[in-house]
């Protein structure tokens, strides 16, 4: 399964919910919803609030749906690609998630692209083969 940004988050959520997936690749994924909310400008915060409510008070949705809080449930090979200059999902979130994943099991690979933005637009020729190799290595034949 391949997911970009919110699609990457949804890919990890699918794994948590025991969808049959042999491998995952995530580009610019969202590991921590509350931290994402806190780093966004007000118009984006309002969009997030429309979907999930405010993070204050009972934050169960923000916690329950954030991969950073259930790395132990991600039990399939996971490739995570992130841009060093991602302004949508701060790279610090990706690094923290990668560290947690690495401490949990060895099914994980994290690749950070220097000067990469949220979509890794300038790095397609580098990351596309990485993704293809990942799936070739981990998908059942």
| pLDDT value of residue 95 | 96
Handedness of CA 67, 21, 27, 137 (dihedral sign): positive
What value, to the nearest 5°, has the Cα angle with vertex 114 and ends 103 and 1?
A: 55
- Domains of the chain, each with CATH number or no CATH: 2-138 (3.40.50.1820)
| pLDDT value of residue 107 | 84
SS3 24: strand
Q: What is the pLDDT of residues 89-113, one digit of tens each?
A: 999 999 999 999 988 777 899 999 9
Q: What is the pLDDT of residues 14-51, one digit of tens each?
A: 999 999 999 999 999 999 988 888 899 999 899 988 88
Higher-pLDDT residue of 121 and 55 is 121
CA–CA separation, 64 and 57 (whole Å): 14
Phi, psi for residue 79 in degrees, rounded to 5: -100, 125
Give the pTM.
0.89
């Amino acid at each position: 399964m391949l997911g970009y940004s919110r699609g990457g988050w949804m890919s990890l959520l699918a794994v948590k919910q025991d969808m049959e997936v042999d491998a995952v690749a995530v580009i610019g994924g969202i590991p921590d919803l509350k931290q994402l909310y806190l780093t966004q400008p007000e118009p984006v915060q309002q969009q997030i609030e429309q979907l999930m409510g405010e993070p204050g008070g009972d934050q169960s949705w923000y916690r329950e749906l954030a991969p950073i809080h259930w790395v132990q449930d991600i039990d399939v090979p996971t490739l995570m690609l992130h841009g060093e200059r991602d302004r949508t999902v701060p790279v610090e979130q990706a690094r923290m998630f990668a560290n947690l994943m690495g401490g949990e099991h060895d099914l994980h690979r994290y690749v950070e692209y220097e000067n990469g933005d949220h979509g890794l637009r300038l790095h397609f020729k580098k990351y596309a083969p990485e993704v293809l190799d990942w799936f070739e290595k981990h998908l059942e034949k």
